[in-house]
A and B are shown apart, each in its own frame.
Chain A
Amino acid sequence: MSLLSGKGLCVSRGQRPILKGVDIVLQPGEMLGLIGPNGAGKSTLLRILAGVMPADTGELSLDETAMAPIPQTERARRIAYLPQLSEIAWPMCVERIIELGRTPHLEPWQSVGDEDREIIGKVIRQTDLLALRDRSFNTLSGGEQARVLLARAMVTEPDILLADEPVSALDPAHQLDVMNLLRQHCETGHSVIVVLHDLSLAAHYCHRLQLLHQGMTLAEGSAEEVLNEKNLADAYEIELTKANGSALKPTSLPWRRLRKDE
């Protein structure tokens, strides 16, 4: 049984088609990597799944029931969306911004309670933001801001986390941390769809990859199946580097995270 699925999703902006009939399925506990060159339609697909942009045609379903009649607040509790670019309008402090992630669980008159505080504290530790919690958002570096926004999405404790390039502004150590966090999110029965440009990270961390090219799905399956020579050439116009005559594995990462307390 699929948790989230989209069928035949089409969307155009003006005359230009962006998605030309894409199918996507997300299983419970799965981490799906959405990859593809610039302009392939990855972000658009994610926005449609998040419900912030309507598809021209196609069907969305959550738990195998149609998405449309599900109230906005319930959808917000179950699906969290982390856009690629986020501009924070006011220089609020980090903890207040993360707190906003609990909003879908609060009634309009309710304020953040003890249980919410516990979740917020846990996520702040996980995202390595303890030292920054009182800082104002606009004084943070790009990578720190990205972690704050991820934390904001994580405190919602959504069944499905849709993250659009969450690691692109991060240094290698924090890239690995974020990917590990997303994996952890899946291990507790939740699911993640993550848009990635780093194919090694995608191959290493995701259970399954879906490769988009020119608004269509070019390939879908395990990293080995998707990242073959032909697909890489067709979609990205690249090939795997060869060392000593044999191609490097795309799934192998050149480094791993040192534990700080080690």
Chain B
Amino acid sequence: MITAMQQHRLILSLAAAILITALLSLIIGNQPLPLIKAVQESFNQQPGVYSLILTELRIPRTLVALLAGASLGLCGAVMQSLLRNPLASPGLVGSASGAALGAVVTLYFGIAGLFAYALPIGGMAGALLATLTVYLLAGREGGTLTLILAGVAVNAFALALVSLLLNLAPSPYAVQEIALWMLGSLANVSRNELWILLPGTLLGWLLVWRQGRPLDLLTLGEETAGSMGADLPNLRRRLFLAIALAVGSAISVTGAIGFIGLVVPHLLRPLVGYQPSRLLVPSAMGGALLLMLADMGVRLLPVQGEIKVGVVTSLIGAPFFLWLILHNRRRGV
């Protein structure tokens, strides 16, 4: 049995790892950043180039990776617990594909170039709209299976619309712009993106606050959970909104980043005794850690330009996920 002590130890280890990774993430890049010098500079009257790199680029980039990764990890755990299905990803209720569609619409119609916040706002609107559609189709009363099927349908439709826009794009440049955005990257993140990301992310996290208990009850099945006092319609509404806000904000800023929300809860679940409520915080921390590491990885890769971080997470995530499933099956879990 997993004790409270072991749980605390896990959270502390993750926190320490996050701290170290965040510091490294400030230093590592195209050019290694002399961190102490940069900090000294930023206290000077006239900040130098190092301090500019630190405050305008590296800190926002690190924080965005941390927040977006945490949202993906947290929402993955929430989604899997809510649907009682270890294969659910946070994007299942439409938040990720909706965000992609919303963002691509702004790129396609050139709204993205009009003002700085247009693209992420489009993304968030898309995420909310897609999630709302799934909810209205299946979320109020339908069972888990209906919900999954509705999610799959809405995702497919949103991605089809994205394809349509790519298809109709007026120039190869527009196609490239859309395609590259979709790959998912933290390369061009600045303070603006951080401010855009923050409110939706925090609001989403807040909505998940204290929902661990009903998620635990759901382990026993929907009927039993209901008979034990869990208000399931309310829980579903609340968590759908949380995922739309948190994942929608993350995807709107970073582009599609796959597999973190799927793999991280999987990886950590045995360490918390499989209990949904105990998985939430470690999963958020694990997601933050993984995205920061992946983003650091792409900065270190000796290739021309930069490999997009979304490509890396899927490239490593998919085979790893397969290995994990086979490994667990062999152990009979």
Contacts and interface: CB of A to CB of B under 8 A. Distances in A.
- The answer to whether A and B come from one shared complex is yes
A72 B227 CA distance: 8
Contact of A152 (B84, B220, B333): B220
A149 B228 CA distance: 13
A167 to B, nearest CB: 18
Contact of B210 (A50, A100, A108, A133): A108
Given A100-B219, A104-B229, A93 B1 contact: yes
Interface stretch (A31-39, A82-90, A219-227, A238-246): A82-90
Interface in B270-320: 273-276
A61 interface: no
Interface in A111-145: 133-134, 136
A109 interface: yes
A218 to B, nearest CB: 27
A75 B229 contact: yes
A90 B219 contact: yes
Interface residues on A, range: 35 or more
B1 A100 contact: no
B236 interface: no
Interface residues of B, number: 26
A95 B1 contact: yes
- Of the candidates B2, B273, B274, B276, the one having the most CB atoms from chain A within 10 angstroms of its own CB is B274
Interface string A12-35: 000000000000000000000000
A103 B226 contact: no
A52 B213 contact: no
What does DSSP make chain B's interface, helix, strand, loop or mixed?
loop
Interface string B216-238: 11111101101111010000000
Contact of B229 (A47, A76, A86, A92): A76
Interface secondary structure of A, over-half rule: mixed
A80 B227 contact: yes
Contacts of B85: 89
A96 B216 CA distance: 10
A83 B221 contact: yes
Contacts of B269: 90
A52 B217 contact: no
A156 B228 CA distance: 9
Contacts of A76: 227-229
B228 A100 contact: yes
Nearest to B209: A108
A151 to B, nearest CB: 12
Interface in B240-277: 269, 273-276
Contacts of A72: 226, 229, 231
Interface string B66-94: 00000000000000010011000000000
A65 interface: no
B227 A50 contact: yes
A103 B333 contact: no
A87 to B, nearest CB: 6
Interface string A162-173: 000000000000
A134 B223 contact: no
A34 B236 CA distance: 34
A79 B227 CA distance: 8
A54 B202 CA distance: 37
Contacts of B220: 86, 88, 97, 100, 149, 152
B209 to A, nearest CB: 10
Contacts of A91: 274, 333
B216 A103 contact: yes
Nearest to B229: A76
Contacts of A47: 223
Given A72-B231, A108-B213, A96 B221 contact: no
A103 to B, nearest CB: 6
Given A52-B223, A52-B226, A90 B276 contact: yes
A205 interface: no
A201 B113 CA distance: 76
Interface of B: 1-2, 81, 84-85, 210, 213, 216-221, 223-224, 226-229, 231, 269, 273-276, 333
The 3 A-B residue pairs with the shortest CB-CB distance in the complex, in nearest-first order: A76-B229, A89-B84, A81-B227
8 contacts: A50-B223, A50-B227, A72-B231, A88-B220, A89-B84, A100-B216, A100-B217, A108-B210
Given A79-B227, A89-B219, A109-B210, 14 more contacts: A51-B227, A72-B229, A75-B229, A81-B224, A81-B227, A90-B219, A90-B269, A91-B333, A96-B273, A97-B220, A103-B217, A104-B228, A106-B213, A133-B1
